[in-house]
C-alpha cells in the first residue's frame, strides 16, 4: 500500500494542473513552539492554506462552492511528522487532489525543506473530505462542474 506522499510524489508531474497546487513560505517566529521548532498544529494550518489557495485559484472558494450547492468539510486528517522545521527556513507546501467520488474527496500534502541540493521531506498529510449541503450540513454530491474544474 502506498502512502499519500508516495502517491503525490509519483503523480505530481502527471496530474493536471487543476488538481495540484503549491505554496512556498518562510518559517516565522509565530510558527514556533517552546522547543523553537514549528508547532505541529502549524503544519496542519499550512495544509489548509494550500488547499484554500488551490480552490481560490480555480475560483472555487467557499462562497462559490456554496452557490454550486455543496462545500467540503474535513472528516479526518492523518499527519506524519518526519523532521522539524526551524525559524527562517524556506518550505514548499504541496497539495493534490488524489480522489473524488460521490460525497468524498481526498487530498494529499507534502511539506519539504528547500535547502541544499534536493528538497527534504518534513511532513506528509492526507485529508479525507466529505461534501455537504451548506444549509442542512447533510452529505451531498457536489455539482459535476466542481469535479470538472478540479481536473477530474
Structurally, the chain folds into a number of domains equal to 1
Are the C-beta atoms of 103 and 97 separated by less than 8 Å?
no
Q: Looking at residues 76-104, what average pLDDT do you find?
A: 97
Identify the pLDDT of residue 1.
42
- Residue 85: give the domain boundaries: 4-149
Give the pLDDT confidence of 29-56 residue by residue, as tens digits.
999 999 999 999 999 999 999 999 999 9
Q: Looking at residues 19-35, what average pLDDT do you find?
A: 97
The pLDDT > 90 percentage for the chain reads 88
Domain containing residue 54: CATH number: 3.10.129.10
- Sorted by sequence, the CB contacts under 8 Å of residue 120 that are 6+ apart come out as 83, 112, 113
Are the C-beta atoms of 123 and 111 separated by less than 8 Å?
yes
pTM here? 0.91
Q: Looking at residues 66-88, what average pLDDT do you find?
A: 97
Identify the pLDDT of residue 131.
98
Helices (H) then strands (E): counts for the chain = 4, 5
Identify the pLDDT of residue 2.
45
Amino acid at each position: 500500500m502506498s502512502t499519500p506522499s508516495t502517491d503525490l510524489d509519483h503523480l505530481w508531474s502527471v496530474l493536471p494542473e487543476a488538481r495540484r497546487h503549491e505554496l512556498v513560505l518562510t518559517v516565522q517566529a509565530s510558527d514556533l513552539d517552546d522547543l523553537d521548532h514549528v508547532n505541529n498544529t502549524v503544519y496542519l494550518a499550512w495544509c489548509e492554506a494550500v488547499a484554500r489557495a488551490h480552490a481560490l485559484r480555480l475560483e472555487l472558494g467557499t462562497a462559490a462552492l456554496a452557490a454550486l450547492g455543496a462545500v467540503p468539510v474535513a472528516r479526518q486528517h492523518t499527519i506524519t511528522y518526519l523532521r522539524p522545521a526551524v525559524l527562517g527556513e524556506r518550505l514548499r507546501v504541496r497539495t493534490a487532489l488524489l480522489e473524488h467520488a460521490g460525497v468524498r474527496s481526498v487530498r494529499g500534502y507534502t511539506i519539504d525543506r528547500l535547502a541544499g541540493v534536493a528538497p527534504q521531506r518534513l511532513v506528509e498529510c492526507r485529508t479525507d473530505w466529505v461534501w455537504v449541503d451548506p444549509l442542512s450540513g447533510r452529505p451531498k454530491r457536489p455539482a459535476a462542474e466542481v469535479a470538472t474544474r478540479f481536473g477530474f
